[in-house]
Structures are given as C-alpha cells and as structure tokens.
Structure 1
C-alpha cells in the first residue's frame, strides 16, 4: 500500500477523499476503495475495516489491505474482549497503540498479532451510524519506527463519519432503522447477517418463507412490505434491495391485525390461491367444516362481504406464512 505523506494534511486532497468515501458502497469492493482513498491522507502499512455482529458479539472483516488472514481472525474474534475495547467505544476517538498501557499489553491481539508481526505503530478508529449505533472499527498498523502524524490522526477523526456511513448498510434515509425494528441482511447467496442488536437471522434463513421473499426482492429489484407469520408470531417486514446484491430486511413483531388468530391468518394467506374449503382443509390438516368456520370469522373481523375481498386484503398485506415454523 502506498502511504500518504506525513508532511501535513492538504485540505483539497482531504475534500476529494471525503467525497470519494461518501460515494462508496457498503460491499467489499466499495470498502476496498475506502481503504485506498484513506491511504492518500493517512500513512499506514496495513489496514482493515471490520463490522460488528451485534448478535454474535464479534467483529467480521469487511475489507483489508496487508493483514494476514490469521491476524484478521484474531482481530475479529478477540479484539472486543480486550479491556481497552470498552474505552475505545466510549471515547469514539482514534486510539494509538502507544496509548495502551503496559498492564493491558496482553491477550490474543498482542500475543498473536502485534508482537509476532512486529507492529510498532497502530491506530484504531471506532465507527458509528448517524443514529448512534456502533458499526465496527477501522484498524491501521505499521512496522516502521515513525509514529502516525498528528495530521493523519486528525484526518481519520474528521473522516470517521463518512467511513462509518460507507460501512453502514442502513445509511440512507430509506434504509434508516426505525425505533423498535430489527434489521438483517439476506445475502446474494444463502448467508443472513444481523445488522442490529437482538435481530434473529434464523427467521430469514435459507428454506424459510422470509428467505424466499427476500430473494424475490433482490431478484426483482423492487421493494416490498410483507406481513409474515413465523414461529407463532406475526412480523411486519420492510424488504429493500441492497446495493451488495442481497436484501435488507427491517422487521418488528406486531399483534395479529384485526384480532385475527394465527390459524385465521394461515387460512387468509391461502385464500388468494383460490382454493376451495376442502383444498385448504387438506393443506392445513383439518376438516372442511373447520375452514368454513374460520372464513366466517375472518369475513366478520375484516368487515369483508366475501372471500374475494378478504383475499384482496391478504394480497395488500403481503401476507405470507412460513410453513417450516
């Protein structure tokens, strides 16, 4: 990696770097571009951007330059447990390796990365979303005896907001996280990754109705809202195509609308297919007379004159049932 000069921060260069980072996408190619742009204003030898997985409680490398894979694995799985991590998150400012006291220079990060690889200079910047969510961090290291310059540290602090935005899959107003929502990213493959704390990736794992709906959104490129019945709960979901090729899913648990029961929602979800009571009963493993009773109650609760209007309501809600629940 070609390092920046330590002679000072050129405001014009800094502005161009800021604009380039602000335009970066939150995928590996885009974040690789972020590291390249940062090399123009911060002198480093190795660098890595890592996202924090709020469910697993570990970091995951999103893009890197120079670090060996083994070092990245230690950073991802062990850095959050180091005593200095809490201070780093609370202060929200760059921390230099030289600032770590001798009493804290132990543990896997030091014993398996910093010491054996000969890193004598290090700089870590915590990254946050505009709504205060901790997103991850930027780590930079060097083996030269020259410390990071004040201008480099200043540049990193001033660029932290756009670097964080580049790392944040929920950075745009359309994808901002609403209070009470959880967010996952359903990747272009079969992976599902938590974006917010307490998110439940298994709701949208491969083989579920949630996964199928998310893949449909990614393939069509069109956003969709759904009412999803899964695991005995009802979820309101907002699915939006992600720039990485997957789907961003924001969801929250809600009470069943119109006081419908879970079984009534299952029956309602089957009405758009136009099946008879006998066919719906066979699919749900009950008697046709039971389905007739459910439909009567559904029509009454929805104030719908017939099953066609009720079916239209199900379509409007985007009602789907996870049969694997």
Structure 2
C-alpha cells in the first residue's frame, strides 16, 4: 500500500472520478471504498446515508461485517452514537483513540465491533457543501496501528468528495436543470417536508404546509412527471398563475425523497381566462356541466359558453380531447388550489 502522503493526489483524483460517474449510487459507494483501501488497510467498512425522518442509517455498502453488526449500524442507536461522538457535525475524522469518551462507554464499539475482532477504526460525517448531513463513512481495522495520523488526515480531505459522490440530491438537481425557466424549487420528503433544492431559490408557495405541496405529493404518486398551474393573486391570468412541474425522485437510498417541485412562469395559456381555466380543471376531473354550475354558482348556460370557448381555444372537437390536450400542455388547475368545494 502506498503511503498516504505520496498517494494523496492520485487517490483524490480517483475519488473525484468516481464521484463524477453516472453509475448507481451503491456502485459509486463500493468503488469509493476500494479506493480508500489504499489509504487505510481496513478489514471492514461502510458508507451509509441518513434517513432523518426515521433516524436511521441506510448502508450503501458494508463489506466485512457480520449480520449482527449490520443490524446495529441500521438501528436508531447507531445514529444516537454518532451524535454522542459529535460526528453529526462537520469535524475532522475520528479514530477510536480520538474518542471524546472512553471507548468502553460507546455501545457500538464495546458490544459489536470489538467482539467482532476489530481493534481500531475511523469515522467521519459526510456533509454537502450547503451543510446537509448526508451520512457516515466508517472504516475498521484488525490492527491498532491503523489508521495512521496521515491516513486520518487524508480521509478528512477526501470526505467532501465522498459526500459529493453519494449525495441523493445530486440526480434530483440534475433533473431539475432540465425544467426550462424554473424560478424556485424544493424537494418534497416522505413526511411532506420541503428541502432546499441546490441551485434554486425559495418561493412562498413552496413553504411548509403549503396547499401546493399537498397537491404535488398527491399528483406525484405513481407518476414520473406532471405539470399543472397554481393560481396567484392578481386579475390577469397571464401573471396570475405559476406553472408547477413535479419530478418524481428515483427510488434510491435513503428513500425519504419523494419529488422535486419547481415553479416557473406560466407560459402560453392559449388565451384562457381565469374562469375558463377553473372550468377546464373541473372538466379534467370529470365533472358534468350541471355540477360545475352548482359549484361555481353560475347558470348552466354560462358553463356551456365557457366550454365552447375552451374547445375553440384548444382546437379540440370534444370535451375529452380538450382534457387530454390541457393535461399535456400543463393547463390543469387542481381543484384544491381554486377553493371550489366538491
């Protein structure tokens, strides 16, 4: 094995190359561990991502451990231990001999790792450039001579590259860049919480407990991509709406990210008025003219006139074709966003 000082540049370039590959996140993690073996001759190691909503670590790769140790790694107790040692904060890597408490008081070490034959180890938290705690990198050795001071320091230099390689938001942010004219965006979690999306700003409609996010979560269920309109204050429909794009997140660890939600200017509304867009949305949801008239407190003949205008503006001969074209062009205004009661 090359000494860490002489291997620094070579390993850093290799790790950066792995981070840039389009491989699955688990494949990148496995490749990273193999590269890091040239720095620390470990017998077991793991890279895991944090599921903050369930307070569990989800291992991407964990070679060298038995099932008992792996079960502990994925338990809430493991997250509590990381917090006890301060590894949930950006800090240098920590070896067993660097612990701020006696190793015997650390359950993971005393009850699982030492009985498994390990004599030293190293752990470092993984953090995104914006400060998000992504997870943990840990390496364990059967020799107390490793990791050396130089190896510990080199792992500290490489940790941000490792974090970049396994950041679950990376693919989401890349997909979001394909949405033309996006003004703001968030990532919706399993529990309905909005997380900042790197590269995009915030917007009041994307805040916690927003009705828009509730609609987005519902429409994202089972769909890879959907577009709709969200009303804003103002009498002019051309500026009174935002176009909302919902991109379902890929099913990858730690599995708590549901969808990216992005807002942009509305684009071409085909001359549809606010009332016509409202009627069109109810048409898409399968409402009859009579039901629309009752809900909007307008005459059935008025609804029929709106329908005639909608068909003409969308170039559709039938209500069904108008609904299909409206959905395809992102002209759907979901009823929960209009205040119309069902």
- Of 302, 305, 309, which residue of structure 2 is paired with 1:306? 309
1:69 is aligned to 67
> Which runs of 5 or more residues in structure 2 are unaligned?
178-182, 197-206, 231-241, 264-271, 315-321, 337-342
> Which runs of 5 or more residues in structure 1 are unaligned?
186-191, 218-223, 229-233
Which secondary structure does the structure 1 equivalent of 2:89 belong to?
Answer: helix
Structure 1 Cα separation of the partners of residues 79 and 85 of structure 2: 8
Cα deviation, residue 89, structure 1: 2.4
2:330 is aligned to 317
Structure 2 Cα separation of the partners of residues 250 and 112 of structure 1: 41
CA contact (8 A) 2:41 2:146 kept: no
- Of 6, 25, 28, which residue of structure 1 is paired with 2:26? 28
Structure 2 Cα separation of the partners of residues 123 and 241 of structure 1: 32
Residues 37, 248 of structure 1: CA spacing in aligned structure 2 closer, same or farther, 3 A cutoff? farther
Structure 1 Cα separation of the partners of residues 187 and 111 of structure 2: 35
- Of 14, 21, 24, which residue of structure 2 is paired with 1:17? 14
1:106 is aligned to 105
2:235 is aligned to none
Residues 226, 56 of structure 1: CA spacing in aligned structure 2 closer, same or farther, 3 A cutoff? farther
1:53 aligns with 2:66: no
1:139-184 CA distance string (max 9 Å, x none)? 1111223220223222211111211011112236535799772344
Residues 7, 111 of structure 1: CA spacing in aligned structure 2 closer, same or farther, 3 A cutoff? closer
Structure 2 Cα separation of the partners of residues 203 and 111 of structure 1: 48
Structure 1 Cα separation of the partners of residues 294 and 261 of structure 2: 35
Provide the aligned length of Structure 1 versus Structure 2.
283
What does residue range 67-216 of structure 1 map to in structure 2 within 5 Å?
A: 67-77=65-75, 78-82=77-81, 84-85=83-84, 87-103=86-102, 105-106=104-105, 108-171=107-170, 174=174, 181-184=186-189, 196=195, 209-214=219-224
CA contact (8 A) 2:187 2:258 kept: no
Q: CA RMSD in A?
A: 4.8
1:63-94 CA distance string (max 9 Å, x none)? 12212232122122222212754622224321
TM-score, structure 1 normalization:
0.66
Cα deviation, residue 29, structure 1: 1.9
1:249 aligns with 2:259: yes
